[in-house]
Amino acid sequence: MAAQKMELTSLKKYELPPLPYAPDALEPHISKEQLSLHHDKHHQAYVTGANAGLEKLEKARQEGTEVDMKALLKELSFNIGGHVLHTLFWPSMAPAGRGGGGTPGGALADRIDQEWGSFDRFKAEFTKTASSVEGSGWAALVYCAMTNRPMIMQIEKHNNQIYPGFKILMVLDVWEHAYYIDYRNNRAQFIDAFWNVVNWDAVNKRFENI
């Protein structure tokens, strides 16, 4: 029993990944204040919440106690989903003119042209998807393994676990905490700014690694 308890308490925990660029690197499109708050406070909160949920599960297993599994797993999936999506979000951006912005290249560009007819049509559809998310959520470019096609979809809150067959290639966070300092309630302006910092090299690499 002691050995089992030691094994449970030594399980690896989630960690906040560092930003792949300086906090002010995405200015003027995303300010240092906005990016720092989003990463250091909001993303950290999901990491902390996910680890707290795991600790509750571990404690219940060790002590043989009952927990409200429905509530606990709902909270756990919310925080893990937030952590996973934010971990994908940061590398999906790069400083404008230094890898960020422009248009995609390589195999991804070819598939976008094949699926949407042009990058401009893809961009317009992705923008509408992000703009029309109800409340808090994400817009995502994904790849469907069942149809072998790229797709754009909305993710409500952090509920990405309902898409197990979809490889996420790019995400845009449209929770208000992602843009309120810079753009107040003008989500559309934030989405326009996002296109200036998309890291197409990173998105293309995810596509090539499917």
Range in 55-59, 62-66, 121-125, 199-203 the model is least confident about: 62-66
Packing angle of the helix pair 44-63, 69-89 (nearest 10 deg): 150
CATH topology of domain 106-208: minor pseudopilin epsh fold (3.55.40)
Give the CA dihedral 75, 141, 139, 53, nearest 10 degrees.
10
88-101 mean pLDDT: 96
Whose tokens are 């790849």? That residue is 143
> What is d(CA 188, CA 124) in angstroms, rounded to the nearest whole number?
12
Whether 188 has a pLDDT exceeding 60, the answer reads: yes
Whose tokens are 């690499």? That residue is 205
**Alpha-carbon separation of residue 65 from 8, 9, 53, 57 (angstroms):** 15, 16, 15, 10
**Element containing residue 173 per DSSP (H, E):** strand 166-173
Helices (H), the chain: 2-9, 32-36, 44-63, 69-89, 106-116, 119-131, 180-183, 187-194, 200-208
Residue 170 forms beta bridges with which residues?
Answer: 141
Q: Where are the domains of the chain?
A: 106-208
3-state secondary structure of 56: helix
| Span 76-85, pLDDT tens digits | 999 999 999 9
| Span 111-166, pLDDT tens digits | 999 999 999 999 999 999 999 999 899 999 999 988 999 999 999 888 765 555 78
**What confidence score (pLDDT) does residue 2 get?**
47
pLDDT interval class at 8 (50, 70, 90): low
Range in 9-13, 15-19, 98-102, 121-125 the model is least confident about: 9-13
**What confidence score (pLDDT) does residue 62 get?**
87
Q: What percent of the chain has pLDDT over 90?
A: 79
pLDDT interval class at 6 (50, 70, 90): very low
Residue 140 forms beta bridges with which residues?
Answer: 153, 171
**What confidence score (pLDDT) does residue 11 get?**
73
Whether 4 has a pLDDT exceeding 80, the answer reads: no
41-47 mean pLDDT: 98
14-36 mean pLDDT: 98
Q: What percent of the chain has pLDDT over 70?
A: 93
64-93 mean pLDDT: 93
